[in-house]
Chains A and B, each alone.
Chain A
């Protein structure tokens, strides 16, 4: 099986060239967008399918991805989503890549905040779309970003104008229904100068055979602040490859939080181009793997501007035969004086057959660095901690659960939006199988 042969696998059937044109005409898209889609499709068709020879795919054979014979999801009817927290500025429910309901608090809308589908933004915010869509993550970065750029359907768009601070988090619920379908979720967030927002993307549902290739582009102008959270609770057997990157202006600050809980394969890139002087990037991740789940994250903290700061904490607890891989790159460019960078990857192995690969990497091109720290570890539960809990009456499985909760809680504790911290914490507890009475913790 040659690479060029495998390359065609993702662009066949439901994702062929005709599908691109059909999508553009269905949405009545402007010419520039239709052209970009086609150009991206050409790339997806031409780019080699990845192989384990590439560093990014060292620990997972991409041949195991179910990309063959995928169907496009059938059209769905609008519906009412499960109610989301009242302390929300807005919510959107996207089922199988189609927005079934959208709501934005009128107060927030009046401030000029735009929250809706990318499809609609292409009509109503063409300048922003043309400037930023595909500018942070370009289709030539790989076969999956290319495929997504060619065939995303409705997508999610958030724009916050200059100096507007959206007080409460915005919620996006992405759900999948059915098997054997390919989903291409796409998010574009643009925060203008001094703007602030918090976005929560929850992913649920789906079953074996669902393949997801998602892209999230986060644009922060000078002084902007964004907290972007993904809670991945896909159904058993769902595979996802994701690309997420933030682009930071002067003194901007982004926090990217990922909770990896569901699905069978969840592999992605979480990156920050820390371009503006004084900008800060935070990347926090928790993963709890059971069965044969595989979680793989590649991070880049790219210090480009002066006095930039990055902090990263990724923790995975792995049970049964679950596996995690972490490849974290801190790059400090020649022009980035006095960078302060930290990355820490910790893995808790709860069974002999669980496995963690951890590779923190530093690439420092300047001699003027304020701090550049990195650490990685993988090991079993501390027997003294276990004994302490057992001595207080907790049977081993329960003691272990509490230790996992605590281990991951150190990361979720860093989420600053209280309601989001609660949602992520609850998702972790759901996976741990603990239902907590409200107000007990």
Chain B
């Protein structure tokens, strides 16, 4: 690990899905200990970015680079990235019927830590973390994400985040679909991870300002049509909250209508 290198560095990233360009040159640097908020309209490419960062096989990188702690990870498989310390909290976590949470988490944690955790140690860690997240112990016996409510799925993602202690955490709308209490529990979980040494970088994808009251970002970005069009401080998130994306786009000489090409957006943004 080179301390000088950013935890996550995305350079001019172009990504296609099924031959269709979705990301059109994303640049992003997240340093150790920083919290970045990423906002953007539906379909702008936030989840595409998140999935690409983890190496989802459906997303093809056509140009640019992804560097994790100074090393390009483009050739790494998803599991290599995960074991190295990259973590994605999914917007829509996949259900895996037949595989219990406890069995899954044990395999996953063993993989992440590169050792066979003694049963005792594993159980203690699991139960303690579940308690913090106010999760019922019965949860561990259930099948992974199978029949979980929206909020339960998000809590389960945060449970994994806390267990894995990643160097970079990408949280894709982990705040969506949570009630007020659950939101607080999840935010506490994230803040706790954020405070742990060595401090991770966090990329928090969200639509809502309210989470940013609970998790204070250092930097905020706005992604429109596959490109980060504006970067600022927390006040940028506030602006989005109050005025929506249209004002930002108008400011940049962008219209929200159909037909503007990615190139036009690019030209406007730079």
What residues make up the interface of A, taking CB atoms closer than 8 Å to B? 382-385, 387-396, 398-399, 402-403, 405-410, 413, 437, 439-441
Considering the complex, which residues of chain B in the window 99-152 have a beta carbon less than 8 Å from any beta carbon of chain A?
99-100, 102-104, 106-108, 111-112, 119, 122, 143-144
| A390 in contact with B82 (CB, 8 Å) | yes
User: Is residue B33 within 8 Å, beta carbon to beta carbon, of the partner chain?
Assistant: no
Contact of B90 among A388, A394, A413, A437 (CB under 8 A): A388
- Residues of B close to A389: CB separation below 8 A: 96, 104, 108
| B96 in contact with A392 (CB, 8 Å) | no
| A408 in contact with B98 (CB, 8 Å) | yes
| A441 in contact with B82 (CB, 8 Å) | no
A441 to chain B, nearest CB (A): 5
28 A–B contact pairs at CB < 8 A? Answer: A383-B58, A384-B94, A387-B54, A387-B57, A389-B104, A390-B77, A390-B78, A391-B78, A391-B87, A391-B90, A392-B108, A393-B108, A393-B164, A394-B108, A398-B111, A399-B79, A402-B99, A402-B103, A402-B104, A406-B97, A406-B99, A409-B99, A410-B97, A410-B98, A440-B119, A440-B122, A441-B102, A441-B103
Contact of B83 among A393, A403, A406, A441 (CB under 8 A): A393
A297 to chain B, nearest CB (A): 20
The answer to whether A437 and B98 touch (CB under 8 A), given A391-B82, A402-B104, is no
Contact of B79 among A382, A394, A410 (CB under 8 A): A394
User: Is residue B210 within 8 Å, beta carbon to beta carbon, of the partner chain?
Assistant: no
| B98 in contact with A409 (CB, 8 Å) | yes
Contact with A along B149-172 (1 / 0, CB 8 A): 000000000001000100000000
| B160 in contact with A392 (CB, 8 Å) | yes
| A393 in contact with B119 (CB, 8 Å) | no
B157 to chain A, nearest CB (A): 11
B162 to chain A, nearest CB (A): 13
- Residues of B close to A399: CB separation below 8 A: 79
A223 to chain B, nearest CB (A): 33
Contact with A along B70-101 (1 / 0, CB 8 A): 00000001110111000110100110111110
- Residues of A close to B54: CB separation below 8 A: 387, 391
- Residues of A close to B83: CB separation below 8 A: 393
What residues make up the interface of B, taking CB atoms closer than 8 Å to A? 54-58, 77-79, 81-83, 87-88, 90, 93-94, 96-100, 102-104, 106-108, 111-112, 119, 122, 143-144, 160, 164
| A394 in contact with B111 (CB, 8 Å) | yes
10 further A-B contacts with Cβ under 8 Å, apart from A391-B90, A408-B98, A437-B119, are: A383-B57, A385-B94, A388-B144, A390-B82, A391-B81, A393-B82, A394-B107, A402-B103, A409-B99, A440-B122
* Minimum-distance CB pairs A-B, first 4: A406-B98, A406-B99, A393-B111, A392-B108
- Residues of B close to A383: CB separation below 8 A: 57-58
| B104 in contact with A387 (CB, 8 Å) | no
| B107 in contact with A402 (CB, 8 Å) | yes
B103 to chain A, nearest CB (A): 5
| B57 in contact with A403 (CB, 8 Å) | no
| A391 in contact with B96 (CB, 8 Å) | no
B37 to chain A, nearest CB (A): 22
Once the chains are docked, how many angstroms separate the CA of A218 from the CA of B54? 54
Once the chains are docked, how many angstroms separate the CA of A383 from the CA of B112? 21
The answer to whether A395 and B79 touch (CB under 8 A), given A402-B99, A441-B100, is yes
Contact of A440 among B77, B104, B106, B108 (CB under 8 A): B106
Once the chains are docked, how many angstroms separate the CA of A409 from the CA of B57? 27
B142 to chain A, nearest CB (A): 12
| A388 in contact with B102 (CB, 8 Å) | no
| B98 in contact with A392 (CB, 8 Å) | no
- Residues of A close to B103: CB separation below 8 A: 402, 405, 440-441
| A439 in contact with B78 (CB, 8 Å) | no
Contact of A403 among B99, B119, B122 (CB under 8 A): B99
The answer to whether A393 and B79 touch (CB under 8 A), given A387-B57, A410-B97, A439-B119, is yes
- Residues of B close to A406: CB separation below 8 A: 96-99, 143
Once the chains are docked, how many angstroms separate the CA of A384 from the CA of B81? 17
- Residues of B close to A402: CB separation below 8 A: 99, 103-104, 107
Question: For residue A401, which residue of chain B has the nearest CB?
Answer: B107
- Residues of B close to A441: CB separation below 8 A: 100, 102-103
- Residues of B close to A392: CB separation below 8 A: 82, 104, 108, 111-112, 160, 164
